[in-house]
Each structure stands twice: as C-alpha cells, then as structure tokens.
Chain A
Amino acid sequence: MSIDFASKANREIFQRIREISGQNPELCMQCGTCSASCTGIGKMDFLPRQVIRKIQLGDPGVINCHSIWVCTTCLTCSARCPRGIDVGRIMEALRVINLRKGNEVLVMENIPTEVKVEVPQMALTSGFRKLSA
C-alpha cells in the first residue's frame, strides 16, 4: 500500500506533533548525537534520529513506532542536541497523540505482582503517567 504523504489527515498529524511538542523537527540535521546518547536505543525499533527523520519526511507510520514507549525521558538527547531541539518533547508528543486515543502500553494486569509490590511508588506513578492512557 502506498502512503499518501501529502494527505490532509497526514498534514494534521504533523501539525499536532509540532504544536504539542513546541519543537521544529526541520531544524534537525541528522547528526545522530541524540541516538548515540540515548538510554533506550538497545530496545528501540528506530533510533531517535530516525524518528525525527520520519517526521521530516512526513511518514505517518512514526506514530506507531515502538521507540516512543522505550524512551525513559532522561533528556540526555535534549541536553546534547546541537540544534537545540528538545527531542524528549517530540517523543512525548508522539506518546500523547497515542494516549489520547486510548493506545497505551503499560497495563496494571501485565506487571508481575512481585514487581508491583517491590518498586518504589514513584515508579508506578511516573510509569503510568508516561505510558498509560
């Protein structure tokens, strides 16, 4: 199936990514500093640099990438980006667009009981705020 990159629905998605993140992905020059610094890359399907590239190219599939759910919002990417892009905010925008549609990854029933009992409360609050709808 071919993707209509220029369709109205697609343009709206990218407008929302810009609005919610407050960032301009066009500034990215694909240097890869974010990817080299990223905590989660070992478990990601696309590197942070590639996520930004997908946005630049207008690929609506970016919304469904797994990487956004692996991000720990450690903000190393944001602190180091030589173009001043707060990459963490772009990852959050992609998560938020999903969460507001009810697409979530963290479900209480799927967390092993011993983990639920052991972890500090802050892990549960932060995890559910970032990863559940």
Chain B
Amino acid sequence: MQILYFPGCTLSTKAKGLDITTREALAALGVHLCELPRWTCCGTVFPLAQDNYIQMVAAARLLATSASLGENRLVTVCSFCYHVLKRVNHAIKNNREAKEKINNYLEENYSGEVQPVHPLEIIRNDYGFNRLREKLGDSLKGLRVACYYGCMLVRPPGEMNFGNPDNPTIMEEFIAALGGVPVDFASKTKCCGSYQILNTPDLVANRTKEILASAAASGAQAIITSCPLCQFNLDRQQEKVADKKNFRQIPVLYFTQLLAAVFKVPLDKMGIEEHYVDPRAVLKEI
C-alpha cells in the first residue's frame, strides 16, 4: 500500500529520527510513504482567533495539493502537524467563511476531502493491532512503557477524535500488541509546557518534572511520544535535574523508534544521537 506523507519541518532537521523510523517501520508493515511534493511548514499552531484565516493558509495548501494529486488521505506523524492539518480541514469542512476565504486566497477549490491520518491510526485501522500481536506479539518482552500523548493529539476532542481526551488508549493498545506493558500513567495527557521553553522555561521545568516523576513512579523503563517538542522538553529537562542522586533517568523515545527496533533497524540509523538520555540499553533489549 502506498500513501501520501507530510514529514513537516522539524522532522527534516532536529527530529530526523522520527522521520526515518516512521518511514522504516511503516514500510516493514507494508505501508510505503510517498513524500508530498513541494511541502512547506504547516504553521505549527492552529489559530484560535475566529478572524485569523491567514494562519490556516499553509496547512490548507498542503491539503489542497494532496487533493490535486487525487489522494484522499495524508499521513503525518508530528503531533503539531497532525493537530493543525486536522483542525484546518475541519474548519474548511464546517465553516463556510473559512472555506471561501482560504480558497480565494489559494486560488483552489478545496472542500476538505483529504483526511489527515496519524501512523498509529494506520497501524490500528489498516494493518490491525490483532495482526500486529500475531506476528510481533513477543517483541517488547514485557518492556514497561509510559505512553505520553501530551495535548495536541487529543484536544479538542470534538475535532481531533483521537479517543477520550483524558484517557486515550491507542498507544497503550499498540504497546500491548507488541508484547510490552503499558503502565498506568496519570500524566499522559498533561502538557509539557510546549513553546514556553522560549518564554517561561521555568514552567517547562516544573511540568516536565511532574510528568517524569509520574512515569518513574509507575515503573516505566521508557516514555514514548509522537511529538518532537514533547520529546525535546521531557528529554533535555532531565539534564537540568539538580538532585541527580534521587532521580532515575528515563529515555524518551518516539513510538516509531520502538517499532523500528522491533524490525531490527540499526540503532545508528534511528537518530538517537539527538537524545540526551541514552535509549540504547532499552532498544538493544528488543
């Protein structure tokens, strides 16, 4: 199966590991990603002001390009990109003014027919968790994993449709199908502080400390995410922990890196040199 793929800007620079392992892991499942031609940044954040259509233009152009290629789905793995594409598409479908203004600006005639999809949805809906369990059910050998969703994948629930906004389970089902143990993780949809790393870094320090403590208390050996900014915040803040003696480091991985490890993708091809906490010990066990 071939499907159109939008990597997004961070995946071609600071989060190459997420890009490579998404392509490799899905290819191993028989899903081949074809990169969207001439893609641009999606805009990263959805405008929350009712009159701000210009910040929807970048994502709308990506969707319109996909439609012009005759595609009805566009895969993207970064939580921010997925969030923006999905919400802009929702706006074009449900808000006549948004649709008219954006199409006038782009000189397109796009009406929301392309569905943005996340690789986790591809694995669940196209490949199937049962099939994953049958073929690879022993792979993670009981690895205890904290599944971290953060904000962008699940909220607002009415538009994202990614499960219960306080208790989504798709990542847990994915980990369980691979033979891992998804731990009870109370902070799974808490925000890591996001872009406040630039403006209020103390906030990110406090929030990540709480999330990491929650993961540690549940006995997690690894945290997984699909967001390069969550990965960065949760990973790099561990460097700044003052009380190193009473702090257990936890590697923060992309869920695709775990799946790539299952398919024996070489560790030096996974972009783990981008990580502060060394995940090799965890990945070698797989």
What 1/0 flags go to B30-49 for Cβ under 8 Å of A? 00000000000101110111
Bound together, the chains give a CA A101 to CA B259 distance in angstroms of: 48
Number of A-B contacts (CB under 8 A): 141
- Asked whether, in the complex, the Cβ of A70 is within 8 Å of the Cβ of B191, the reply is no
Within 8 A of A (CB), among B1-60: 8-10, 13-15, 41, 43-45, 47-52, 55
What 1/0 flags go to A118-133 for Cβ under 8 Å of B? 1111111111011100
What 1/0 flags go to A75-99 for Cβ under 8 Å of B? 1101110000010110111001000
- Give the contacting residue for B197; candidates A43, A86, A123; CB below 8 A: A123
- List, in ascending order, chain B residues with CB within 8 A of A75's CB: 151, 155-156
- Give the contacting residue for B10; candidates A40, A78, A120; CB below 8 A: A120
Q: Does B157 contact A (CB under 8 A)?
A: yes
Q: Does A72 contact B (CB under 8 A)?
A: yes
- Asked whether, in the complex, the Cβ of B203 is within 8 Å of the Cβ of A39, the reply is yes
- Asked whether, in the complex, the Cβ of B55 is within 8 Å of the Cβ of A122, the reply is no
Interface residues on A, range: 35 or more
Bound together, the chains give a CA A75 to CA B155 distance in angstroms of: 6
Bound together, the chains give a CA A20 to CA B49 distance in angstroms of: 5
- Give the contacting residue for A123; candidates B8, B157, B166, B195; CB below 8 A: B195
Q: Which of B111-119, B140-148, B228-236, B249-257 is near enough to bind chain A? A: B228-236
With a 10 A CB-CB cut-off, give which of B15, B156, B191, B200 has the most chain A CB atoms.
Answer: B200
- B208 CB to closest chain A CB (Å) equals 11
- Give the contacting residue for A119; candidates B47, B165, B198, B200; CB below 8 A: B198
- Closest partner residue, chain B, to A127 (CB atom): B195
Q: Knowing A39-B207, A70-B200, A121-B9 are in contact, say whether A93-B49 is a contact too (CB < 8 A).
A: yes
